[in-house]
C-alpha cells in the first residue's frame, strides 16, 4: 500500500506555501514516546500540556516537543531538559536557549510578548541566554501522527546526527507529513520537505552564512501560506537568497486569490499574485485516513515589480 508521502511525490505535488505558521517557536525537550497529540500524550504532564496549549493560543507561538535522535525507550522523567525559543520575523530574528528543571516554569512566560518578538519573560523565568551555537535542524519523527514521519524522518535524523551535524533534534509535528521527511530550520524558520541528508547539510551551511536554500523549501513560518509562496517566488525570480533581506509587508484579498507585497531591505518591492488551487486527484491526505481530500496548493500567477511584470506558469 502506498504511503501519503509516496503518492504526493509521485504526483509531484508542489510544496511551496505549505509550512506551518508561527512567528515564534517554543521547543521543550521531552524524551520517550510521543502520542499523536504529543503535548498531552507523552511523559509530559498532560495538565501542563493543556495549559501550555491554552497559553499559546492566538499569540503566534507554536509549541513543540523535541528529543535527541535515536531509540526512545521509556527512561522516566529527566532531571533537566533543554528548551529553546526562536523568533523568525526578519529584522528581529533570534534564538534563545535554557536548561529547565521544572517545565511548569514555562507558564511564567508571557506568550503574547514572545509572539511579538520580545524574549524578556523567557529569559527571566528560565534564565535564557542567546544561543551562539549551530542552527537547529528539527526533523519531524512523530510516527503516531503519521507513519511517514517515523519511516522517513527517524532515519534522516539519525543519519544527520551520526555524521556529526550539530543542532539536530527530532520534533513532534511540523504539518504536511505527506512531504516527509519534513524539516524546520531555526532561527530563520524555513521549512523543507522531501529532505535528504546532503541537502539538509547544504541548507544548514547556508544558514550559517545567512543564506536561504530555496530548493525543497516549503516556506517561512513567519508568513501565512500566500506570503510563503510569494516570498519564495521573489527569491527564485531575483536570485536573492539573503535570509534577512525580504519581508512580506502586505497581503490583500482572500481565498482563492491574493496580492502579496514583498519588500527588500534596499527599498525594492514586488507585488505577487497568488491563487489557491487544489492538488488533484483526490486521495487520503495522511496515512490511515479514510476520507479522500484534495490538499490546497498555492500557485504563483505573477511577480510584478513597478512598471514590469513577470508571468509565471501556474
> How many CB atoms within 10 Å of residue 166?
12
Mean pLDDT for the stretch of residues 43-60: 96
What pTM, to 2 d.p., does this model score? 0.91
Strands 136-140 and 168-171: parallel
The mean pLDDT of the chain is 89
Does pLDDT of 309 surpass 50? no
Kindly state the average pLDDT of the residues 158-181: 87
Give the model's pLDDT for residue 148.
Answer: 65
Query: For the chain, which residues make up each domain, given as ranges?
Result: 1-223
pLDDT at 147: 62
Q: What pLDDT, on the 0 to 100 scale, is given for residue 245?
A: 97
Assess if CATH 3.40.30.10 describes domain 1-223.
yes
Closest C-alpha among 232, 92, 201, 95 to residue 139 = 201
pLDDT in tens, 186-203: 999 999 998 899 999 999
Does the pLDDT at position 290 exceed 80? Answer: no
Contact 136, 129 (CB under 8 A): no
Query: Is the pLDDT reported for residue 314 higher than 50?
Result: no
**Separation CA 102–CA 12 (nearest Å):** 45
CA distance 272 to 309: 10
CB 262 within 8 A of CB 300: no
Q: Tell me: the pLDDT tens digits for 251-281?
A: 999 999 999 999 999 999 999 999 998 888 7
Pick from 158, 155, 119, 157: nearest CA to 137: 157
- Taking each helix axis from N to C terminus, what angle separates 197-208 and 154-162, rounded to the nearest 10 degrees? 60
Q: Look at residue 41 and tell me whether its pLDDT is greater than 80.
A: yes
Q: Please say if the pLDDT value at position 74 is more than 70.
A: no
Amino acid at each position: 500500500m502506498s504511503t501519503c508521502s509516496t503518492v504526493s511525490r509521485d504526483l509531484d505535488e508542489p510544496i511551496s506555501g505549505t509550512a506551518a505558521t508561527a512567528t515564534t517557536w517554543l521547543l521543550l525537550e521531552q524524551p520517550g514516546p510521543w502520542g499523536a497529540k504529543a503535548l498531552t500524550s507523552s511523559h509530559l504532564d498532560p495538565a501542563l500540556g493543556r495549559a501550555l496549549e491554552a497559553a499559546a493560543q492566538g499569540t503566534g507561538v507554536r509549541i513543540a516537543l523535541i528529543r535527541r535522535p535515536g531509540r526512545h525507550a521509556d527512561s522516566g522523567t529527566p532531571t533537566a531538559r533543554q528548551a529553546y525559543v526562536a523568533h523568525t520575523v526578519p529584522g528581529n530574528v533570534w534564538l534563545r536557549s535554557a536548561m529547565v528543571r521544572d517545565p511548569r516554569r514555562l507558564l511564567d512566560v508571557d506568550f503574547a510578548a514572545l509572539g511579538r518578538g520580545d524574549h524578556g519573560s523567557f529569559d527571566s523565568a528560565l534564565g535564557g541566554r542567546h544561543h551562539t551555537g549551530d542552527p537547529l535542524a528539527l526533523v519531524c519523527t512523530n510516527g503516531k501522527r503519521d507513519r511517514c514521519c517515523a519511516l522517513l524522518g527517524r532515519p534522516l535524523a539519525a543519519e544527520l546526527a551520526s555524521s556529526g551535524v550539530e543542532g539536530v533534534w527530532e520534533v513532534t509535528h511540523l504539518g504536511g507529513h505527506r512531504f516527509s521527511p519534513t524539516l524546520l530550520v531555526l532561527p530563520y524558520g524555513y521549512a523543507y520537505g522531501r529532505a535528504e541528508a546532503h541537502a539538509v547539510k547544504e541548507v544548514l551551511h547556508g544558514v550559517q552564512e545567512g543564506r536561504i536554500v530555496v530548493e525543497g523549501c516549503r516556506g517561512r513560518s513567519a508568513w501565512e501560506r500566500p506570503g510563503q509562496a510569494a516570498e519564495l517566488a521573489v527569491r527564485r525570480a531575483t536570485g536573492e537568497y539573503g535570509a534577512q533581506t525580504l519581508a512580506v509587508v502586505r497581503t490583500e484579498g482572500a481565498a482563492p486569490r491574493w496580492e502579496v507585497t514583498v519588500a527588500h531591505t534596499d527599498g525594492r518591492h514586488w507585488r505577487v499574485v497568488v491563487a489557491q488551487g487544489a492538488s488533484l486527484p483526490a486521495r487520503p491526505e495522511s496515512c490511515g485516513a479514510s476520507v479522500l481530500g484534495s490538499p490546497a496548493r498555492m500557485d504563483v500567477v505573477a511577480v510584478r515589480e513597478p512598471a514590469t511584470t513577470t508571468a509565471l506558469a501556474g
